[in-house]
Amino acid sequence: MRVVIIGPAYPLRGGLATYNERLARAFREAGDEVKLVTFSLQYPGFLFPGQTQFSTETGPTDLTIDVSINSVNPWTWWQVGNKLRREKPDLVVFRFWLPFMGPALGSIARRIRSNRHTRIVAITDNVIPHEKRPGDRPFTRYFLAACHGFVTMSRSVLADLRRLHFKQPAQYKPHPLYDNFGPLKSKPEALQALQLDPNYSYLLFFGFIRAYKGLDILLEAFADARLAALPVKLIIAGEYYEDAAPYEALIQQHKLESRLVRATDFIPNEQVVDYFCAADMVVQPYKNATQSGVSQIAYHFERPMLVTDVGGLAELIPDGEVGYVVKPTAQAIANALVDFYEHQREVEFTAGVWARKKEFSWSEMVKALKEVAA
């Protein structure tokens, strides 16, 4: 089968690009011919709050990547759509995560499928976005209507599709394991790589810092007097995607500075292993969510997790088996963190993670995409 994946990929950086490149390799492992088509311009400046959209790392040499879509230039949508219409791939997989991309991706999809051969399938991270903007609903509908089928990585997104009355074939398939950040390291080795004091224990908040991810709730929880009495520090590893001032105010208010490890720049792929393997547990205090790639990195590195009971997070984290599922409140998070250390649950939860991680295979994702395209 000839497959094209359309979405973020190198030279763009971030979790979506990492995912799409790993998916391309999974198709190739299944015997398919695959290439990626990505953006020359993904976001205009007003939509991108980070430092840069582009990777400074060496690009993958084993993948074919066509950098040709400008999200705000309709001429490129026409060019890419017409080129793929003529090439007639058997399957085109779109990655859809933001309504803003609806006009570009929907237009490309319509040009391709006019060849009456290619099947169009979307991996829909969200159909109702975390942060709403004007035009969300029509942009989303324009794209979704161009697809033959969908795969969602949380049941809540699958329910959203049906709530919007899209009847095409759709499957829920959990986010596969992020196994492309290298092998596990021992905790002492990871602590040494990050130059962290081994006399402390460490919790990890990882990923771009945005309002819906709840770092403010975690900081409030970490101010709990019971946690302050423990030799535990919080690692904040990820770039601010919004104003840092409210978080800084909380840090000053609760006198947390000495109990934090700040790494608030983009974390290169080769350093991801150190942050996860140095941590006792990965904390995701989200206020709303659909699914999270952070959970699948934690599974790969066999780290216990605390997630809040929002969206699809709890679907992948059995409470009391691999970690905690709690309400998105500072008190509930603090109670779980205290329990984790007072009852020394790291070994127990790590064993649970190890037992569950085998369920999240890339071959199952490839199979699901092919099934909804049939």
- Tell me: the pLDDT tens digits for 201-227? 999 999 989 888 999 999 999 999 999
pLDDT exceeds cutoff 70 at 81: yes
CB-count exposure of residue 192 (10 Å: 0-12, 13-18, 19+): middle
CB 121 within 8 A of CB 144: no
Out of 44-53, 155-164, 316-325, least confident range: 44-53
Stretch(es) of the chain classified as CATH 3.40.50.2000: 187-359
Q: Which of 5-9, 128-132, 170-174 has the lowest mean pLDDT?
A: 128-132
Per-residue pLDDT averaged across 4-24, rounded? 94
Q: What is the pTM of this model?
A: 0.79
What CATH number belongs to 187-359? 3.40.50.2000
Residue 290 has pLDDT above 70, yes or no: no
pLDDT at residue 180 is higher than 90: no
Tokens of 201: 């224990």
Task: Supply φ then ψ for residue 96, to 5 degrees.
Answer: -120, 120
Q: Where are the alpha helices (DSSP H) in the chain?
A: 15-29, 74-87, 102-113, 136-144, 155-163, 187-194, 215-222, 225-228, 245-253, 269-278, 293-300, 313-316, 330-342, 346-356, 362-373
- CATH 3.40.50.11930 maps onto the chain at 2-172
CATH fold for the domain made of 2-172: Rossmann fold (3.40.50)
Judged by DSSP in three states, 3 sits in strand
Per-residue pLDDT of 292-342, as tens digits, reads 789 999 999 999 999 999 877 888 899 999 999 999 999 999 999 999 999
Where is average pLDDT lowest: 127-136, 140-149, 352-361? 127-136
Q: Can you give the pLDDT at residue 304? A: 98
Express as a percent the part of the chain with pLDDT over 70: 95
Distances (CA, A) of 319 to 305, 308, 330, 333, 359: 9, 10, 18, 13, 17
Identify the band that residue 51 occupies on the pLDDT scale cut at 50, 70 and 90.
low
